[in-house]
Structure 1
């Protein structure tokens, strides 16, 4: 398995570990994140994922002190794509989760965070970057087009992302054009 997407900026996170029994990822989970909420382009998300975020920089960030999470990928509003965790590693993005009868989805999934918020539209550049990344994942992992879901689906009591404004139709149309 190829571990690093060639179109991404690398920013390794220590918040990961080995997948159990060398499981290959077979699920793509889409999230959204902004730090602080609805603030974009400040470079705080990669810092959060690598543990270097200054939680005193904004009052809202204080609640993140000591939190250790990550995702495999992060896509900024302008489509810039970062990779934080190797595909063969388990990123800590799904938490308590379940999909198709399977739990502990960090073990078998790839997590992609889009810079955004539940009730704000995502940008065309983000959809394009996500479609290109998805097509690449479909050829380099056991993930397929029907094994893509939102965080809200795998953890419905706890999570609401990517949110009601994530345009699944646009995403799938762009994926078809990319394939």
Structure 2
């Protein structure tokens, strides 16, 4: 009887030893497979990016991203940086620009309208044609009207589409080719000292509320950087050649929403 008890006890101890050994092997195997990943996570550094506005370096996971650019805050994303670019705008660089004359900063905003092909925005989204035009990439085969403007090299600082998208082509520090032969209160060559804003539209159609809202925000940004800005339409500075932004641009609405002093609207608030 005693022998049987010894055999049973020995078998039980062997079973416990064998089970423990298998548990150790399983744990070692698990550790072997998981450790490299955990170690990799521990040694991989956080990807760092630079704020386009203030040049601060910060983890990518904490940055505000827009069009492959990064910003440290919503304020900087929506702001006008020191290089003259609005963070929340789509940047589509135009080759049609120059450096401003030495010592000259913009003190005038010129409001335009543009539609390519004329009136096409009423039936379909045609904003890309304007972007292509300002970048000298317009396909003249896409519409008969484009043959008439082929070879023209023009640009504006900003475009506000019918849906309220803001597109920027030229830094506010530089001169865009938007005004042409022009005169503001006796000062010639308005491109030298002005910022051009194009509203997608024509002379026969009301502008969208979304466009006025973006124009308001943009105007306030520009006014905070360039004090005492004055505002005019293209027709005001080139009356013999241009009619934009036209009678459907609401100057009273623009003045009320932006809070611009009437003194900074020298041509008045009457539609023209």
TM-score with structure 2 setting the length: 0.63
2:239 pairs with 1:156 = yes
Distance 2:259 2:186 in 1: 28
Residue correspondences, number: 175
Give the C-alpha shift of residue 62 in structure 1.
Answer: 0.4
Asked if residue 16 in structure 1 is aligned to residue 100 in structure 2, the reply is no
Unaligned runs of 5+ residues in structure 2 are: 1-81, 261-272
CA separation in 1, counterparts of 2:193 and 2:186? 13
The question of 1:129 aligning with 2:210 is answered no
Conserved in 2, the CA contact under 8 Å of 1:97 and 1:104? yes
1:34 to 115, 134, 139: 115
Which structure has more relative contact order (CA 8 Å, sep 6+)? It is 1
Separation of aligned partners in 2, 1:150 and 1:95: 13
Q: Whole-Å Cα distance in 2 between the matches of residues 125 and 173 of structure 1?
A: 16
Q: Deviations over 1:33-55 (max 9, x none)?
A: 00010112221001000000001
Give the TM-score normalised by the residue count of structure 1: 0.94
User: Deviation at 1:7?
Assistant: 2.4
Moved over 6 A (4+): none
CA distance in 1, matches of 2:136, 2:152: 8
1:99 and 2:180 correspond: no
**Change in CA separation of 1:45 and 1:106 when aligned onto 2, cut-off 3 Å:** same
Residues 1-179 of structure 1 mapped to structure 2, 5 A cutoff: 1-40=82-121, 41-42=125-126, 43-144=128-229, 147-176=230-259
RMSD across aligned positions (CA): 1.3
Tell me how far 1:176 sits from its aligned partner: 2.9
The secondary structure found in structure 1 opposite 2:111 is strand
Larger Rg: 2
Q: Give the superposition deviation at 1:175.
A: 1.1
